[in-house]
Amino acid sequence: MEGPPVSAVPEIVVLSGGSSSEREVSLRSGRSVAAALPEARLVELPGDDLPGWLDGSRHVVLPVTHGGWGEDGRMQARLESRGIEFAGCGSEASALCMDKVRTKAVMRQAGVPAAPETGFDASAPPAAERLIALLGESLVIKPSDQGSSVGLLMPRGRAEVASALASLKSGRWMAEPRLVGRELSIGVLDGEPLGLVEIVPLSGVYDFTTKYTKGASEYRYPAEVPPAVGAAAAEAAARLFRACGCRDFARADLILESDGRFHFLEINTLPGMTETSLLPKSASCKGVDYPGLVRRMVAPALSRFHRRAAR
């Protein structure tokens, strides 16, 4: 039995929203993307479910659903099961990259420099003394399966570390040393690294509020780093993208220490696309403007749609 005829020109559907803690940022991303792609239909999801009318024979999805169900592979698996082509990483790579502890293991296997970490559940956190012995007294504690700046804690010393651990109510968490250095980010588009962006938070900490408040950080792009360091970081970002099974686009974050060594922190499969977001800045370093970036983000999914239609 034949399925419905496949449209020669699919409608692009931009999905934003959902119920994660990053919902408001996702809505902003969706509006920005839709403004750059006027032929697309913007859908602001009220919760964690796909619209029933989405049809793989007529639609291609460009998701900007940050965090939770929209980014951790569950939405991607649902799209795959319904035969709907979509931009960005598939379900397996999305699930992997959402788990920072698993991603760190892949980094090491791929030879990408990564700081040590300890993962744990909030219901059974390690003792403060043990964490300090393993990782040092100045730590970063954050959810292991949320956005990079969600729930961020930066305790120093036994009393602060113990207090931070006691404040955790639920979920999976990780601790890692607080590295001192320059905060950098780099996009990857179609497997190719873009430009390095340096983030200079005026408060000194690049947390969730600082990240999404206009004027709370300075951005320098392309970042001024020695050419050899920049080339090595770009190559490592592309290698990490491949090792994690990513496709289409992603953004990797790293710390550059004063001695020129860098350590990657994570790779983000559905990076923000707001007016303060890092991926558009990274793309601009290579001469790709915002509308051009959006079109290049969705182009591979359109190609996959047309290849399937031709079969």
Q: What is the pLDDT of residue 306?
A: 95
Mean pLDDT of the residues in the chain: 93
Examine residue 231 and state whether it is found in any structural domain, yes or no.
yes
Candidates 23, 185, 266, 277; catalytic one = 266
Candidate list 17, 20, 22, 145, residue with the active-site label: 22
Same domain, 191 and 142: no
Q: Are 48 and 18 in contact (CB under 8 A)?
A: yes
pLDDT digits (tens, 9 = 90+) for 282-298: 999 999 999 999 999 99
Which among 23, 251, 282, 284 is annotated as catalytic?
A: 251
For position 67, which CATH number holds?
Answer: 3.40.50.20
From the candidates 94, 185, 268, 284, give the one annotated as an active-site residue. 268
CATH (domain of 123): 3.30.1490.20
Same domain assignment for residues 83 and 101: no
Q: Are residues 104 and 216 in the same domain?
A: yes
Domain check: are 300 and 279 in the same one? no
Residues 140/145/146/150 CA torsion (nearest 10 deg)? -20
Q: Please say if 72 is a catalytic residue.
A: no
- Residues 75, 212 within the same domain: no
Per-residue pLDDT at 81 exceeds 70: yes
**Which listed residue (55, 176, 207, 253) is catalytic?**
253
The confidence score (pLDDT) of residue 8 equals: 75
How many structural domains does the chain have?
Answer: 3
Q: Is 52 tagged catalytic?
A: no
Residue 244 has pLDDT above 90, yes or no: yes
Q: Do 29 and 133 lie in a common domain?
A: no
Containing structural domain, residue 50? 11-88+291-310
With contact defined as beta carbons under 8 Å apart, do 34 and 11 qualify?
A: no
Distance CA 131, CA 188 (A): 33
Can you tell me whether residue 91 is helix, strand or coil?
helix
- Comparing CA positions, the residue from 61, 57, 80 lying closest to residue 308 is 57
pLDDT of residue 1: 42
Residue 158 bears catalytic tag: no
Active site residue 3: no
pTM (two decimals) = 0.90
User: Any catalytic annotation for residue 290?
Assistant: no
Q: Which of 67, 88, 195, 272 is catalytic?
A: 272
Q: Annotated catalytic, 22?
A: yes
Instruction: Identify the three-state secondary structure at position 252.
Output: strand
Q: Are residues 136 and 187 in the same domain?
A: no
Let me know whether 184 and 207 are in one domain: yes
CATH label of the domain that carries residue 270: 3.30.470.20
- Indicate whether 1 belongs to any domain: no
